[in-house]
Amino acid sequence: MSSAGDQLREINSFFSCVLTCLLYVLGATVGFYRGDLIYTHFNSIVAIFALFSVLTMAFLIFSYHLGTGNSVTTINEIWFGVETHPKILDIDLKSFIKTRFTMVIWPLYIISALYFQKIAYGKVSNSLLCLSLTQILYISHFHWSEDLYLNSLDSKRSSCGFYRLWADFVLAPVIYTAPITVISHYHLGTVGLISNCIFSTIAVASIIFTA
């Protein structure tokens, strides 16, 4: 799995993501919280994720100075990282953040956006439904094919530095959810539906091609 040699690992991100989403829907259904909770408080969630990225990097630097065989002495090493697969309690930090934070907050945001539009406008637009299904399909494919991600060059060769932590915790969620934000907020109609059909076709074709 890494440049140090292949490793066997149990993968369960698909079922973990499905369970998390179902629990979120269940909580909203029984009235524990509003269904649009994540959508309306997403800025605060991203701010917390940003804090997580800083604290995680600080923890790694601290652990390196305790004698893990690595050392961080320059800004370049902090930014790009010095370790490909840092672990905390035997958990691969890089893949854990990607599969349990980045690719889980995304579907939760989609579900929350659907609730938001239903509450705000009384119904969910076809354009938002189309985009949501497309993105859910992509997310499902990622989690179901977690082994492909773990064997990708990005997973095997990219070190876990601050840039990686910030990208997975903050940048990726903001970029991934941007289309959903625009369509759900502005309630786009036919034009949005046509655009989403085009991009949906492209997305499905790319999934089939890379499968």
Query: Which two tokens mark 142?
Result: 């990622």
CA distances from 34 to 15, 26, 117, 153 (A): 24, 11, 12, 40
| 143, 17 contact by CB (below 8 A) | yes
Continuous H helices in 66-189: 75-80, 93-97, 103-121, 126-144, 146-150, 153-157, 162-166, 172-186
Nearest to 208 by CA among 135, 133, 141: 141
Which residues are 92's β-sheet partners?
87
* The total number of residues written for the chain in this structure: 211
Structure tokens that stand for 4 in this block: 């140090």
pLDDT of amino acid 188: 60
> Would you call 88 helix, strand, or coil by DSSP?
strand
Give the three-state DSSP class for 5: strand
Cβ partners under 8 Å of residue 150, min gap 6: 1, 9, 11, 95
pLDDT in tens, the chain (211 residues): 444 556 677 788 999 999 999 999 999 999 999 999 999 999 999 999 999 999 999 998 888 887 666 777 788 888 988 888 888 888 889 999 999 999 999 999 999 999 999 999 899 988 899 889 989 999 999 999 998 888 888 888 888 899 999 999 999 999 999 999 988 887 665 555 565 566 556 655 655 555 5
Please state, in angstroms and rounded to a whole number, the distance separating the CA atoms of residues 62 and 36.
38
Give the burial class of 82: count Cβ atoms within 10 A of its Cβ; 0-12 exposed, 13-18 middle, 19 or more buried: buried
Q: Give residue 42's pLDDT.
A: 97
What was the pLDDT predicted at 71? 74
